[in-house]
Structure 1
Amino acid sequence: MELDHLKKSFSALHSKLERLSISDKNELFHKAYIHNPWFTFDNLKLAWKGMLVLLEPQKVATWLDQYDADRSNAKNVGVIMAGNIPMVGFHDFLCVLLSGNRLQGKLSSQDKYLIPFITECLIGIEPRWQSLIEFTDNMKGVDALIATGSDNSARYFHYYFKDIPHIIRQNRTSVSIVDDNTTTEQLEGLGDDIFTYFGMGCRNVSHIFLPKGYDLGKLDSAWKKWQDLMDHHKYANNYFYNKSILQVRQAPYFDFGYVLLEENLDWVSPTSLLYLEFYDKLSEVKQRINQNENKTQCIVADPEVFDRAVPFGKAQFPKVDDYADNVDTMAFLAKI
């Protein structure tokens, strides 16, 4: 399909999804929530908003103009999608189709309805997409692969798909740097970066660097709006489980009543638990981040503190050219 036609199709998709009736959207969200209770209506609304941001026509057009892809020879690109947060595989879906390739997608068992709904809307706009999109559990015959999963599944993917071009993503998380100049407003934004999607995304902060002697009461005050997380039974179960583990280990911890905080050098923390690391000098923090670069998705901080920082409160709103693991998916697809 020609580039101009691709742009028009996805521009029309943006308009259609943006104008989707409340009743149709609620029906879709209800189906997704019943299937996976982690997908609450609030989280689904946020993911939908983020998806519309990715589809903004002018931004998509500017983005696509940066790449010189051969769209006359579509390849079968397998995409194995994660399901930790709603529509987490949408960016790969977008990249494969807009690069002129055919999508052979494996949906997560946790997220079975959202992207197929969007696909139906796209085919309704342009029926030719029907032959270019397939959802299947079978990855045989793919010319290239994009897979997102755990560290264990990544080892399997690397072995099984070693002979074809591939992008294989594994466990990553995000970290934050707080200093004595961090404002209350920034701490409130950090709360969004931590607790949105129950902290289950790779762009969620799970490890925080704090100056030694920092008053943790500032964090609790800034994050109070998130105490309703405990009304969600799955989150509450994780909270009580992790609290019991900390008590059995006799590990010192802080308890805000809706999140647990432990001083711990590990990078990835479980749901409802945050790891804290105290520092004397920012140079120590930068060294730690460099040492764990292959485990890190975002660094949330004031840009004046860390030059590659995502501003507080913005971690869950990636731009269309923000690529997971800093691997340019479109450049990869242009070369296969």
Structure 2
Amino acid sequence: MEQVLTLQRRIELMEDMGRYMLSDEPAWQEAMQMAGHRNAWFTAEHIAHAVESIARQYLAPGKLPAWVGQYKLPAEACTVGIVMAGNIPLVGFHDMLCGFMSGHRLMLKLSTKDEVLMRHLLHRMVTQESLVAECITVAERLNGCDAYIATGSNNTARYFEQYFGKYPHIIRQNRTSVAILDGSETDKELVALADDVYLYYGLGCRNVTQVCVPHGYDFERLLRIFARYDHYADLNKYKNNYDYHLALYLLNRVPYMSTPALLMVENELPFSAVSVLHYRHYTDREQLVQELQGSTDIQAIIGHGLIPFGSAQVPTLTDYADGVDTMAFLCSL
């Protein structure tokens, strides 16, 4: 008779993982160091932030039962293929968690940019419970799955649609986040906004890449506070982006504001390059909020009465990518 992991056992394993991720276990510390060596964008600071966010927001005792209790879990297990992104540390963890907690069998296609941490955590799960090996496998090709979840760029999304379109699927494309400022923000709030902008070097879909400001907004205080991240100029990959875009703006005579690690330019597009922050002006805040909430490009909106400053990169279990309830999708299979 086939053995299956009970929901309670799955919860126990994930809560144990949360404790492990916050521990000083030598093997885990070594894995985090190795992840940084493999990908220069994954600094120790950013890995630590991602790990703590997952452990405290997803895996803290009591959070998983409350979350899973909102769904009717499927009676039978399907095989779900998950193509993971690699732009920030452990970015695919939430998809894996949803699949595991819903009781499905998972085939994971890890990103080469972010495989060290995921492989280590999956290996530890198997050492804690051998049945995990029957629930989760890592594969190069995701053949024979009943459903798919794939995260990538707008270009790769077209290929994913071609390959997976005839199966139940979630296919994610490029998204980014914006902040709405009104000029009344405190220094503490702007310090928190700096985290929303700079964490992970701006590579995440929850990074703020555009700020919307009223006409006449004074940027001087904002740039002064953002200077706390000037040390980013010390990373060659980041500085190369900065120098490249600075040269473009100078050659094309594009007006800009700057710190040693950030270029600010006026641009209606929410997407900006690494080391660049766009800004746009608005007159009607309510109309702006409605516009942004209706955009398929926007993942999160930061500001007064919206997502609090500093919270963009600390998502909760129900902050689903692209606003699509991954757990509900998995439970419908």
Same fold per TM (> 0.5)? yes
CA deviation after TM superposition for structure 1 residue 57, in Å? 2.5
CA deviation after TM superposition for structure 1 residue 281, in Å? 2.6
With structure 2 as the length reference, what TM-score do the two structures score? 0.95
**Which residue is 1:266 aligned to?**
269
Structure 2 residue 165 is matched with structure 1 residue 168: no
CA deviation after TM superposition for structure 1 residue 235, in Å? 0.5
* Distance of 1:24 and 1:242 partners within structure 2: 40
Structure 2 residue 84 is matched with structure 1 residue 81: yes
CA deviation after TM superposition for structure 1 residue 24, in Å? 2.8
3-state SS of paired residue (2:201): helix
Equivalent residues in 2 for 1:96-175 (5 A)? Answer: 96-175=99-178
**Which residue is 1:306 aligned to?**
none
Instruction: Report the CA distance shift for 1:74/1:287 in structure 2 as closer, same or farther (over 3 A).
Output: closer
**Which residue is 1:295 aligned to?**
297
* Distance of 2:140 and 2:253 partners within structure 1: 44
* Distance of 1:179 and 1:82 partners within structure 2: 34
CA deviation after TM superposition for structure 1 residue 208, in Å? 0.5
**Which residue is 2:332 aligned to?**
335
CA deviation after TM superposition for structure 1 residue 5, in Å? 1.8
Greater mean deviation of Cα atoms: 78-87 or 247-256: 247-256
User: Could you report, residue by residue, the CA deviation over 1:155-185 in whole angstroms, capped at 9, with x for unpaired residues?
Assistant: 1111211111000000000000001211111
Question: Is the CA contact (8 Å cut-off) linking 1:11 and 1:55 kept in structure 2?
Answer: yes
Alignment partner of 1:245 out of 245, 248, 254: 248
Alignment partner of 2:323 out of 313, 322, 326: 326
CA deviation after TM superposition for structure 1 residue 290, in Å? 4.1
Count how many residue pairs are aligned between Structure 1 and Structure 2: 328
Q: Which letter does structure 2 place at the counterpart of 1:310?
A: I
With structure 1 as the length reference, what TM-score do the two structures score? 0.95
**Which residue is 1:15 aligned to?**
19
**Which residue is 2:311 aligned to?**
314
User: Could you report, residue by residue, the CA deviation over 1:87-146 in whole angstroms, capped at 9, with x for unpaired residues?
Assistant: 000000100011001110001110121011111111111110011111111011011000
CA deviation after TM superposition for structure 1 residue 258, in Å? 1.2
* Distance of 2:318 and 2:21 partners within structure 1: 21
* Distance of 1:290 and 1:4 partners within structure 2: 37
Question: Is the CA contact (8 Å cut-off) linking 2:35 and 2:117 kept in structure 1?
Answer: yes
What is the aligned-residue RMSD (CA, Å)?
A: 1.3
Identity of aligned residues (%): 37
Question: Is the CA contact (8 Å cut-off) linking 1:10 and 1:57 kept in structure 2?
Answer: no
* Distance of 1:290 and 1:91 partners within structure 2: 23
Gapped runs of 5+ residues in structure 1? 304-308
